[in-house]
Structure 1
Amino acid sequence: MSDESSNGRSSRTDRMTITTQLVKSEDLNHHQTLYAGRCVEWCVQAAYIAAERCFAVATPVVFMSIRGLSMRSPARLGELVQFTGVIDYVGSSTIGVRIDASTVQPIDQPRAIATGRFLFCTVDENGKAVAHHLPEKEPAGRGAAARWKSESDIEPGVTIDH
C-alpha cells in the first residue's frame, strides 16, 4: 500500500524522527548545564524536521507555537542528547509534534531532559495557511485534543507571521 495521497503528498504521519546533539561549552549556562534556550532551539528544530518529513516533497511549513515545554533534568558538557519527534496531532493545515529529549548514554539508563509540544502550519508563497491534505489525526489520551485545538484550527487563507 502506498503512503502517497492523491495530490502526491505523503501521509507519513506515524514515523518517528530522531536527531542528536552534542552539548558543547557554548551551549552551557552559568550553572555549566545546557542553557534552556539552546534546548528549546534544538527541540523546535527536531519538531520542524518531524513535521516536514510528513511530506514526500518539500512543503512550506512554518512554526506557530510551543504548546508546552518542561525541562526535566540538566544536560552536561559532553553529553549526547537525543530528540525524538512524533506527530501527535494533524489538523487541516496544522501539524502538532511531541518532542521527548533524553540523554543517549549510558544506553541502559537514559535520563529525560525535556518534553514539549510544537505546532506548525503549512503555508503558500504569500504566508497564508493552506490545507496540507494529510489525514487528520487526533492525539491519544484524555484531554489530549484540547491541548492542540485552541489555536491550531487555522483557516486556510489566514496569513501566518513567521
Structure 2
Amino acid sequence: MVFPGDANHHGTLFGGVGLAHLDKVAFLAAARHARRPTVTASCERIDFAAPARIGEMVEATGRVVRVGRTSMGVEVDLWAEAPVSGERRLCTRGVFNMVAPRQEGQGDLPPLPANGQNVGDGWLRAVEMVFPAWTNHYGTLYGGDALKLMGKAAFVCATKEARAVMVMAASNRIDFSESIREGDMIELASRATKVGRSSITIEVELWSEALLTGERRRSAVAEFVMVAVDKAGRSSPIAKPENSPPGHGFAA
C-alpha cells in the first residue's frame, strides 16, 4: 500500500521507495535461485512510466532471466492498482544484476528452470524480508510487526475480492507456532473463506523461508473479518461478482 510516508510532495510514490521495493524483490528472486549469499552489483536502465498514488496498491514482481557462473539478471516490474476500480498500470521496469560469489567447494550457479511459471492455487501471496528493524531482542520477528503484516495482507485480499473500501472489524484467532529469524524471507498467503452481505472473512498464513537452505515453516495463521463501508463509515453491501470463484458463498 502507498501510505503518505511513502509519497513525495506530489502525492505519488517517491522514486527512491519504489527502487527499494524493486531491489528487495530482485534480491529475493536471486537468493531463492542461488541459495547462497547474494548482493546487488548494478541495475540497468530503470524506466518510470507512470505514478503510483497515495491509497493505491503496488505489486513488485521479479524473475531471474539470465544466469552466469556467479551472476544473475533479474527483471523487475512495479505495477500500481486502484483498490476499488481494479485499474492497473505499469509504473516502473528495469533489470538488476545480482552476484552470488562462490564459496569454498561450490560450483557455478544452477541454470534457469525449464518452466518457471507458477500455477495459481487461490491464494494471494506477498513476500517480505526480515531486517533488523523488525526484530525483537531475541533476534526474531517481533509479534507486533507480524500482526501488522498479516493485517495488511487481509486488507489487500479483501479489497481485491470486494472492490470496495474495507476496514478491519475483528480478528477471530491468531496462532503463532514458529519463530522467524532475522534474514528469513516471509511469505504472506491470504484468501477469502466466507463472503457475507457486507463482510469478508480472510484467512492469512505467515510462512518463513531460510534463503540459504530453502527450509520453510508455517509460523502463524490468523483469521480476520473485514467490512465494506461507505463514505460515512457505515457498513455497505458488497456487490456480488458475476463469476465468483467456487467456495465463496454469499451469505444472507
Q: TM-score, normalised by structure 2?
A: 0.46
Q: 1:116 aligns with which of 199, 213, 222?
A: 222
Deviation at 1:21, TM superposition (A): 1.3
Q: 1:137 offset after TM fit, Å? A: 3.5
Question: What is the count of residue pairs matched by the alignment?
Answer: 129
Matched, 1:34 2:141: yes
Aligned pairs (5 A) from 1:5-154 = 15-55=122-162, 57=163, 59-105=164-210, 109-134=215-240, 137=248
SS in 2 for 1:111: strand
Q: Where does structure 1 lack aligned partners over 5 or more consecutive residues?
A: 1-8, 139-148, 154-162
Relative CO higher for 1 or 2, CA cutoff 8 Å, sep ≥ 6?
Answer: 1
RMSD over equivalenced CA pairs, Å: 2.7
Partner of 1:146: none
Instruction: Tell me, in whole angstroms, the C-alpha distance in 2 between the residues paired with 1:84 and 1:105.
Output: 17
Give the CA deviation at 1:26: 0.8
Deviations 1:65-104 (A, max 9, x none): 1110011111011100000001111110001100011113
Report the TM-score when normalising by structure 1: 0.70
Partner Cα separation in structure 2 for residue 73 and residue 19 of structure 1: 19
Q: Considering only CA atoms, is the larger Rg found in Structure 1 or Structure 2?
A: 2
- Identity value in percent: 19
> What SS does the aligned partner of 1:52 have?
helix
Question: Conserved in 1, the CA contact under 8 Å of 2:183 and 2:210?
Answer: no
Report the Cα distance in structure 1 between the residues aligned to 2:171 and 2:131, rounded to whole angstroms. 25
- Residue 111 of structure 1 and its aligned partner are, at CA, apart by 0.5
